[in-house]
Structure 1
Amino acid sequence: MSSSTSKPTFQYRPSEDRGGSNHGWLKTFHTFSFADYYDPAFENFGSLRVINEDRVAPSTGFPTHPHREAEIFSYIISGELAHKDSMGNVETMVRGDIQMTSGGTGIRHSEYNDNKEKEVHFLQIWALPNERGLKPRYYARHFTDEDKTDKWAHIVAPATAEGVIDERDATGPTPIHAALNFFGSLLGSGKSLDHTLLPRLKPSPAGAGKLVYVQLVQTSGYNPGKAPKDGKGGALVKVSLGGQEATLGEGDGVFIRGANTGDKLVVDNVGEKRAEVVLFEMDA
C-alpha cells in the first residue's frame, strides 16, 4: 500500500471528444493533438505524446516518412500491418504483435496494409524519450490472447527495468527509453482485474506522483458517435482507484493524476462483451 495520503483525481474523456476523422482509406481517432487536430488541453500526458486508434483500408497505408527523438510503437488489434524502415527491418505484424521503433537521431519507415480484403486496426503510440541523441533501435514482440485473458500482459517497460531484454526479438516486455509501462488485457464479462502501481524509475521529486491512463479499445467497429453505456452496444468497464471511479464505453479513456506507488487500480467488466483494455502507467 502507498504511504501517501494524497487522493488521485480522475479526468474522463469520452470517445466522441477525441480528435480524428474519416479519410476513407484511414479512419482515425486522436487522444492528443495530432495533424489537423489541436486541443491545448490534450498535448501530452507524462511522456505520452500520441495515441491514435487507426483503421487502415486494404492495400493502403502510410508511405515512407521520417521520425526522430520519439519512441514509436504500434499495437495490432486486428488485421495485418507491414513495416519497413531505414534500419533494414521488414515484417508483417498481426493481432497481438507490437513493434517499437526508438527513433533517436533519426529513422525513416512505412506502415502499410498489404491485405487486399481486410482493414487493419491498431493503436499507434508515441512517447518522448528520457534521453536525446540515442542510437535508433527496433524491437518486436508477440502477446497471445491467452497471455491477456483475464490478466494483464506487461507489453512495454523501461529499457533499464529488471527483466527487460535489450534484443530485437525476445520474450517479455518491449524496451522503451521512457519511464512508461504499458499493459493490455482481454477481460471477460463479469470479471474483475486489479493492478498495483509500480515503483518509480527514479526517486520521486517532491510532490511527484504517478500518472495512469486507461482506455477501452473500440473493438465493436468504427463508431465516431457516443459510446453505448448500457453494456449491450459494446464493451463496458468501470475503473476505480483511491475512491474515484469512471465508467468507460468503447473508445473512452480516463486520465488519473496524483496516484502513488502501491496504489491499487481495479477494472471491472460491467458489460456483456469481452473488453480489450489498455493501461499506461508513468512517472509524473
Structure 2
Amino acid sequence: MITVRRSNDRGHFDHGWLDTRHTFSFADYHDPRHMGFRALRVINEDRVAPGQGFGTHGHRDMEILSYVLSGRLAHRDSMGSGSSLGPGEVQRMTAGTGVLHSEFNGSDSEPVHFLQIWILPGRQGLLPGYEQRAFPEEERRGRLRLVASPDGADGSVTIHQDARVHAGLLGGGDQVVLSLEADRHAWVQVVRGKLRVGDETLSAGDGAALSEEREVRLAGVDASEVLVFDLA
C-alpha cells in the first residue's frame, strides 16, 4: 500500500527570515492525521535567509539529521561541536539527555535550503553525540546510497534506531529498487525533480508512505533527488 502526502498539503509558514514546510505536525502546525510515520517524526524543508538562523535552543531524546540541498549551514552545540555543512553532507546529532545547539545560514549573501529530520531513538537517556559525513554526487547518482543506519554501515552516520536512510540522484529513465524485509515500512521524500514510486508520480516536496510492500521501486521522470527511509 502506498499513501501519498502532497507537497501543497504540508504545513507552511513564511516568517520572512525562514520559509518552512512541515510534512508532519511540528510547532504551530498540528494535524492529528500526520504526526509522523513509524519512528520518523519530523521532515521540515527549511529555507533560511542570509545571516539568519535558529538561535541556541535545547533538545532531548531525539535523533536529528540535517541534509543540505544548497548553501551552507553553520552548526554549534554545547558538546563543543562546530561545523559548516554543505550539499551532499549529512549531520547527525543525538540529543539524548539534553543538548543546546544553534543552526545558522553560514552565508551573508546566499540562502540555505535544507531538510531537518527527526527520528525517535530506540531508547531514552542516550549520551549526546554529533557526527558529520560527506556523500559525493558520484556515490548517489543512479543509486540509493546509505547515509544513516544503526550500525554506521558503509560509512553512513550512526543513528540510535532501527532505521536506515538512503539518498539518491536519479535522471530521467533511471530505475532503482530497494528491497524491504517482511514487516518493514518505508517513507519516500522527493527533494527535487519528479519520479515514480510504483504507480504514483511524485514531485518535489511530495512524500509517500509504503506499508505491506516488499520493495521500493523508483523510476526517474526527470532529474530528481530523493531520500528513502527504511523503518521498522
Identity of aligned residues (%): 42
Superposition pairs for residues 203-218 of structure 1, below 5 Å?
Answer: 209-217=183-191
Mapped pair 1:39 → 2:31: yes
List alignment gaps of at least 5 residues for structure 2. Answer: none
Name 1:195's counterpart in structure 2: 178
Tell me by how many angstroms 1:97 deviates.
Answer: 1.0
Counterpart Cα distance in 1 of 2:66 and 2:210: 23
Within the candidate set 22, 26, 30, 1:30 is matched to: 22
Name 2:166's counterpart in structure 1: 183
Q: Higher Cα Rg: structure 1 or 2?
A: 1
Q: Deviations over 1:161-204 (max 9, x none)?
A: 3xx27xxxxx711100011110010101121111112x58xxxx
Aligned AA (1:211): H
Q: Deviations over 1:128-159 (max 9, x none)?
A: 1111111111111110111100011100001x
Aligned AA (2:30): Y
Structure 1 ranges of 4+ moved more than 2 A: none
Number of equivalent positions: 232
Tell me by how many angstroms 1:216 deviates.
Answer: 0.9
Name 2:217's counterpart in structure 1: 266
Counterpart Cα distance in 1 of 2:44 and 2:103: 14
Tell me by how many angstroms 1:48 deviates.
Answer: 0.7
Aligned AA (2:161): A
Aligned AA (1:181): R
Tell me by how many angstroms 1:258 deviates.
Answer: 2.1
TM-score, normalising length: structure 1: 0.79
Aligned AA (1:236): K
Aligned AA (1:173): S
Larger fraction in strand: 2
Tell me by how many angstroms 1:19 deviates.
Answer: 0.6
Counterpart Cα distance in 2 of 1:20 and 1:86: 30
Q: Deviations over 1:97-153 (max 9, x none)?
A: 111110110000000013011111111000111111111111111101111000111
Secondary structure of the residue aligned to 2:155 is coil
Aligned AA (1:21): F
